[in-house]
Amino acid sequence: MNIFDTYKPFRNRIKKYDLEKSLIGIWRYANHIIDNEPLPSHSWYFYNGYTYIPPRDVVFPWQLEIALKEIVLNCNENGDVSIDKFPNLGTILDGISKTIRAVDSTSLNQSNIFNGVFRILHQQIVWQAGIPFRSMLRYYEIFKHPDISALLFEKYGLDATDIFLIAQLLQIYLKREPYIVPNKGFTEIGIPKDRSNNLLHALTSNIDNTRACIKKHQEYNDSWAYTKNYLREFPLIKLKNGKVICPFPYLLHKRLTEGLYYDLVENPSFPNPYGNSYENHIFKVISKILPSSYEIKKETPYIVKKSQKHGFDALIGSENTCLLIECKTYRAPLLAKASLGGEEFKKAITRLSDAVIQAYNNVKDIVDGHTSWSLSDRKIVIFIITLEPWFLDGTDMFFGMDSAIETKLGLKNFDMTLYSTIDYYICSADQFEKFCHIASKVGLDNFLQKTDKKSHSINNALDGEYSSHGKNFPSTTIFELVDKFKERLNPYFDGTQF
């Protein structure tokens, strides 16, 4: 499908905008929308004819990210328009909305509507999925593993602690100005200038290369709004005048936290410590938050037919329930998220359903006495905990997954009576952390009574019935980086982030 009839006039309007001034405008709006930073004057606000409305109430981060891509692609180095007031930003947002509507009107139909919702959720709701600062703390818990930190040091000359401290300090600097001094040092927190310069250089791309790489991945079809964003990999742009600008600070934040995964994923020494460190984090959450009255056990390898198996990563037991935990680090790939179905989407969903099948087989091993664990006639519940969220809430999606799971288990002669007694849920690490916090207050059994078994989702309990119990999350109890911030980022430490 060609969307050019709608996109071309939008692109031509952007060509009149000045590149550097517009990047500064995006920086101001990004800080306002993400961190509620004030804007210079009323002209930056949305005026509805009666009152001035803060842009963060009407503009979403995902829209701003697309706007940034289009500005980099099309703005003129000497344009006569800039984003220095809301109507000029509104022109770009209006063009984005019209282009997306033009695509959706011809590409979405009854057969692919769920896939359309799936990619919209991963584009839009992901910005709201969990507290960003807690995501940073969580990734530090994983990347501080000695083997992983050593790989980071090998690549950047900085260990995990130094990189995460730099990431946080940069967020503070970038609230004041959009530019990064190329030889900026962090000696005030004990990091030599040459090492920090290596890191900043690795995250910088000149404007011509940035433009070319964005254009390479751009598609003018139903994937237009969902394609790979080169600025997530290189969030610092070197302009032709030599200045280095960071127009969207949160993209830099994501690059120096969860984005470190892509630096190391191809290294054969990375996957095992990455998975183990993630499992250790989840068990730490369980043991730190849930009361000692619960039965809490960690994975214990066992033998079945001379083969060693690892089984579940953890067990949480109450009087009536045996909750079995399986941790998975894989995330929904971009091709799966951006497509309206197709093979990449099927492969991603199959991988997730195979994790459920593996979990059912692990339950059978416990029932058959191959492990040291005992279910004791309690209700069996499985949690598949993915590091990043998969937005799968929806009965149509899970009806197809459930059918595939039942078929595959049936072909393996699985005890379907046992199958019918087991509930499974798929949740993210952020959701699980909140679950532990709330369950510690209301009880495991009470929590599970309020979940949506059909959609295999715990959101009903998290965000509905028990949402009021989610306050005062114990970040300082769980996350080691908090203490390091207090120690090394003083006086920049901001306790309100908790």
Q: What is the pLDDT of residue 176?
A: 93
What one-character-per-residue DSSP string does 372-414 give?
S---TTPEEEEEEEESS------HHHHHHHHHHHHHHHHHTT-
* Cα–Cα distance for residue pair 23/19, rounded to 1 Å: 6
Output the CA angle 125-131-132, nearest 5 degrees.
Answer: 85
Say whether pLDDT at 127 is over 90. Answer: no
pLDDT score for 395:
43
What's the CA dihedral at 15, 21, 26, 27 to 10 degrees? 160
pTM attached to this predicted model: 0.90
The pLDDT score that the predictor gives to residue 107 is 61
Residue 52 CA, chain-centre distance (Å), reads 32
Tell whether the torsion through CA atoms of 427, 428, 433 and 437 is positive or negative: negative
Q: Which pLDDT score, from 0 to 100, does residue 233 have?
A: 95
pLDDT of 145 over the 50 cut? yes
Read off the pLDDT of residues 343-379 as tens digits, 9 standing for 90 and up: 777 888 888 899 999 999 999 999 999 999 999 889 9
Structure token pair of residue 30: 């990004």
Report which listed range, 15-24, 112-121, 411-420, is most confident.
15-24
Question: Which pLDDT score, from 0 to 100, does residue 480 have?
Answer: 82
Contact residues for 158 (Cβ-Cβ < 8 A; gap 6+): 152, 166, 191, 195, 196, 198, 199
Share of the chain above pLDDT 70, in %: 88
Least confident of 64-68, 103-107, 342-346: 103-107
SS3 category, 237: strand
pLDDT digits (tens, 9 = 90+) for 433-445: 999 999 999 999 9
What angle, 0 to 180 degrees and rounded to 10, lies between the N-to-C axes of helices 146-156 and 193-202? 90
| Residues 69, 334, 354: CA angle, nearest 5 degrees | 165
- For residue 198, the cross-strand partners are none
Cβ burial 357-372 (10 Å sphere, 16+ → b, else e): bebbebbbbbeeebbe
Residue 107 tokens read as 């590409």
Please tell me the distance from the alpha carbon of residue 278 to that of residue 405, in angstroms, as a whole number.
26
**What pLDDT score does 187 carry?**
84
Q: What are phi and psi of 77, to 5 degrees?
A: -65, -20
- H helices of 46-131, in order, are 61-74, 86-107, 113-124
Scan for tokens 């295999």, then name that residue. 456
